[in-house]
Amino acid sequence: MEERIKNLEEKVKKLETIQYLTLLLNKSDNLKEILDLFLDKCIEFTGADTGSIMFKDEDSDELNFVNYRGFKKEKIDSIKIKIGEGLTGVVFKEGVPKIVNDVSLNPFYIPLREDIQSEVVVPLFCDNKIIGVLSLDSKKKDAFKEEDLQILITISNFVSLILNKIELYSELEDKIKLKDLLIDLISSLEKSFELDDIFDFIMKKMSENFGIARGMLVTFENEEFNVLSVKKAFNISEDEMQRGIYKVGEGIVGRVVKTGKPISIKNLHEEKEFLNRMQIKRSKNIPISFIAVPLKIEGVVIGVLAVEKKFEDEKTLKESEEILVILSNFIAGKIRNINFLIKERENLIEENVTLKQELYKNYSFNNIIGKNKKMMDIFKLVQSVADSMASILILGESGTGKELIAKAIHYASSRRDGPFVSINCASIPETLLESELFGYKKGAFTGAATDKKGKFQLANGGTLFLDEIGDMPLYLQAKILRALQEKEIEPLGSETKVKIDIRLISATNKPIDLWVKEGKFREDLFYRINVIEIKLPPLRERKDDIPILANYFVKKYAEKNNRKVRGFSEEALLILQNYKWPGNVRELENIVERAVLLCEGSEIGIEDLPDYLRTEEDLPELHISKWIEKIVNNPTYENRVYDFIIENIEKELISKALLKFDRNQLQTSDFLGINRNTLRSKIEKYGI
């Protein structure tokens, strides 16, 4: 009875030990701590004298000691046990636990100490695979009982679950680490389109997170489709890069290009296909893995991304390859986008050159319509000052073509390749005009979410056209004067000044010289912007240009709207010439565009023109008899009927004759049968 009670007490004690051990094991996720605790407690409750834990080597069929108690290190280092050898090797191979209570009778036993008499060995599992064995030894024969074996199996199974949990946690951590890395890479490189920066950033992150020692991006040479060279490199010198030349199918890199599949090798020192073409010196005592994956765009291999790192195990090597495949797809996508952007940039440059040539053609002086003497004098003046740095003030009524002249000046100057930036000072609210001109920094005011360049910065290297400058408030006039004097501006919210290089052209339809006297416009700014003054005549002072302008607009809008209109009837043209044109050339263009759209034939008639053009009191009627009748019956012309009728007829006759002979006064005077001096005096009298 006492013996039975004693045995029961021992069992209870062992079960309590198991419970205590399981609690301790659950509190740790450190593999070494778990294995140490596991081995020590198993030795303690079985009464063993020595013990060890062995795991299979990743690269061979040998079992390696990871923990041991009671053995000398020299002995442990000298013993090599293969799977199937010795009692531990057999248990690992068969997966069946064994007790040997007299080792002298067991042919498989490999002695680690001469005094060992008994041994018990239990397999260790992880993810349903045998990964190692637990071995306990005793100096006594018959030291281990069947119940000891059952308890060891129970504890080993529990430890296997913990090892499984650690393995899962490790895999999960690796996946989280990879996910975080990819998120970091994508967010950091989302707006980057420089291949150098992209490659360097990826290699840096791979080095920090996955221990990459070297890396390279290999692509095809421009000249030869069959030859590849190192385009980008990480921790590889320029000299080594120069030696990195490969042919398709040659070495690991060449084979990846040929097959289009990734290749990973455990130890490049032992790989015959690894060429070491770059002659990099590496320590031969350390196994170095080499991973190469293809770069593909739409299924076509364009290069290879390769890295090398210290070999850890097969699993890590495979995971590294998978990571590299993901990164190679990312880089290939970036290369595709970069190539697309380069193509787009080339197209834009080509389009820009074409556009500038078209602009130069459209806004050259040769393309400005008109032969009026006043306009010809203006053209000569503009051509003489266009390529200077002098500020120009263009005066003229609304619609006289001030911006057209400003553009002609710009495209006739050496600044033609720079920007032409215009701003209408009257069309922008006073509160916004300053920020439009000088720009602002982020946070300068509510709503300033980003930096914005003003017109002065946008026009840098070119011409800034300030239209309707007469409407500019006085406080802004002071800032503009300072900008012109110091050749620098200060954006709103900035403490740093920005250098500018602009040519200023201004324009106004206001009596700015009068405003200077009245204090509405700064005198110092007026003299700064008015180095050269150009005054454009209103259309009513250049009526000889009306037929030319009108027919030009007919052609322009007929082509634009696919109409077959070719010109004006004589009556319609006469109406246009006799109108006062308060809106000047702009008004004329709008009326002609309307007439082209309304015209049902090939010639614009009076019915296609607005009614208000035909209701002026002093407009001669189309039929001379009706017109004379109207004048004769109008009492307002009493005492001046003769002069009024003769002057209007004489003026129209001389105008038509001048147009007929392209303003040649000699031919016109001969045609009319009058003296040339008489003709000249009539032209001056009527302002023709």
What pLDDT does 10 receive? 58
Bridge partners (DSSP) of residue 133 are 54, 123
SS3 434: helix
Tell me the pLDDT band of 617, cut-offs 50, 70 and 90.
very low
Average pLDDT over residues 220-231: 76
Provide the 8-state DSSP code for 492: B
| pLDDT, position 220 | 84
At 396 the pLDDT is 92
pLDDT for 157 equals: 78
Question: Among 624, 643, 652, which residue's Cα sits nearest to residue 546?
Answer: 652
Homologous superfamily of 191-341 in CATH? GAF domain (3.30.450.40)
Whether the pLDDT of residue 28 is over 80: the answer is no
Contact between 133 and 56 under an 8 Å Cβ cutoff? The reply is no
**Count of H helices and E strands in the chain?**
23, 21
Q: Does domain 2-170 have CATH number 3.30.450.40?
A: yes
- Contact predicate 465/534, CB 8 Å: no
Across 163-226, the runs of DSSP E, i.e. the strands, are 212-220
Task: Name the band, by pLDDT with cuts 50, 70 and 90, for residue 26.
Answer: low
Lowest mean pLDDT among 272-286, 327-341, 462-476, 607-621: 607-621
* Nearest-angstrom CA–CA distance, 405 and 382: 8
Residues 282 and 384: their CA atoms lie apart, in Å, by: 73
Spatial separation of the C-alpha atoms in residues 572 and 116, rounded to whole Å: 128
Residue 251's identity, in one-letter code, is G
Task: Assign 315 to helix, strand or coil.
Answer: helix
Task: Identify the bridge partners of residue 233 per DSSP, sorted by sequence position.
Answer: 216
What is the pTM (predicted TM-score) of this model? Answer: 0.48
Residue entry with tokens 């200060």:
490
Average pLDDT over residues 254-283: 87
Helix 584-598 with 570-578: angle, nearest 10 deg: 150
In this prediction, residue 504 carries a pLDDT of 94
Q: Which fold has domain 541-686?
A: Helicase, Ruva Protein; domain 3 (1.10.8)
- Quick one: which of 386, 482, 464 has its CA closest to 425? 464
**Residue extent(s) of CATH 3.30.450.40 domains in the chain:** 2-170, 191-341
Distances (CA, A) of 623 to 248, 574, 575, 578: 90, 12, 12, 15
3-state helix, strand, coil in the chain (%, to 5): 50, 15, 30
Beta pairing partners, 366: none
Distance CA 570, CA 576 (A): 10
Contact 217, 203 (CB under 8 A): no
Contact 654, 682 (CB under 8 A): yes
Q: Which of 126, 147, 148 shows the shortest CA–CA distance to 136?
A: 148
Q: Which stretch of DSSP H or E encloses residue 253?
A: helix 251-259
646: its two tokens: 């003769």
Question: What is the C-alpha to C-alpha distance for residues 623 and 289, in angstroms, rounded to an integer?
Answer: 102
Phi–psi pair at 347, nearest 5 degrees: -65, -40
The domain over range 367-537 is classified in CATH as 3.40.190.10: no
Q: Which residue has the higher pLDDT, 534 or 431?
A: 534
CATH 3.40.50.300 location in the chain? 367-537
Nearest to 520 by CA among 467, 469, 464: 469
* Pairwise CA distance, residues 314 & 312, whole Å: 7
- Judge whether residue 503 has pLDDT over 60: yes
**pLDDT at 616 (0 to 100):** 47
Could you please report the per-residue DSSP string of 162-180? HHHHHHHHHHHHHHHHHHH
CB atoms within 10 A of CB 577: 17
CB neighbour burial string for 178-203, b if at least 16 within 10 angstroms, e if fewer: beebeeebeeebeeeeebeebbeebb
Structure tokens at 591: 């009326």
Query: Which range, 331-345, 583-597, 609-623, is most confident?
Result: 583-597
The pairs formed by 99-104 with CB atoms below 8 angstroms and a separation of 24 or more are: 99/144, 99/146, 99/148, 99/149, 101/141, 101/142, 101/143, 101/144, 102/141, 102/142
Q: What tokens does 589 get? A: 């263009």
User: With contact defined as beta carbons under 8 Å apart, do 535 and 439 qualify?
Assistant: no
d(CA 425, CA 469): 6
pLDDT at 299 over 70: yes
Indicate the pLDDT class of residue 648, thresholds 50, 70 and 90. confident
Handedness of CA 251, 257, 260, 262 (dihedral sign): positive
Residue 335, helix vs strand vs coil: helix
Per-residue pLDDT at 672: 84
Report the pLDDT value the prediction gives residue 284, as an integer from 0 to 100. Answer: 82
First to last CA, the chain: 146
In single-letter form, the type of residue at position 95 comes to G
Nearest-angstrom CA–CA distance, 672 and 688 = 16
pLDDT of residue 15: 57
pLDDT mean over 497-522: 91
Q: Using N-to-C axis directions, what is the helix angle for 314-362 and 195-210, rounded to 10°?
A: 160
Query: Quick one: average pLDDT of 15-29?
Result: 57
Q: What is the mean pLDDT of residues 198-211?
A: 83
d(CA 526, CA 509): 14
**What pLDDT band is residue 506 in, cutting at 50, 70 and 90?**
very high
pLDDT mean across residues, the chain: 83
pLDDT reading at 403 higher than 70 = yes
Q: Of 213, 217, 209, which is closest to residue 311 (Cα–Cα)?
A: 213
Q: Is 252 exposed, middle or buried, given 0-12, 13-18 or 19+ CB atoms closer than 10 A?
A: buried
- Residue 103's alpha-carbon distances to 39, 45, 86, 87, in angstroms, are 21, 21, 11, 10
Q: Give the confidence band of 357 by pLDDT, cuts at 50, 70, 90.
A: low
Q: How confident is the model at residue 618 (pLDDT cuts 50, 70, 90)?
A: very low
Q: How many residues does the chain have?
A: 688
Alpha carbons 39 and 136: distance in angstroms, whole number:
9
Q: Residues 199-212: what's their mean pLDDT?
A: 84
Cross-strand partners of 63: 56, 81
Name, of 94-98, 207-211, 314-318, the range with top average pLDDT.
Answer: 94-98
14-40 burial: b if 16+ Cβ within 10 Å, else e: beebbeebbeebeeeeeeeebbebbbe
Token digits for 287? 């196994």
Render pLDDT for 417-448 as a digit per residue (tens, 0 to 9).
888 999 998 888 887 888 888 888 887 777 77
DSSP, res 223: S
Phi, then psi, of 228 in degrees rounded to 5: -115, 150
User: What's the confidence (pLDDT) of residue 596?
Assistant: 92
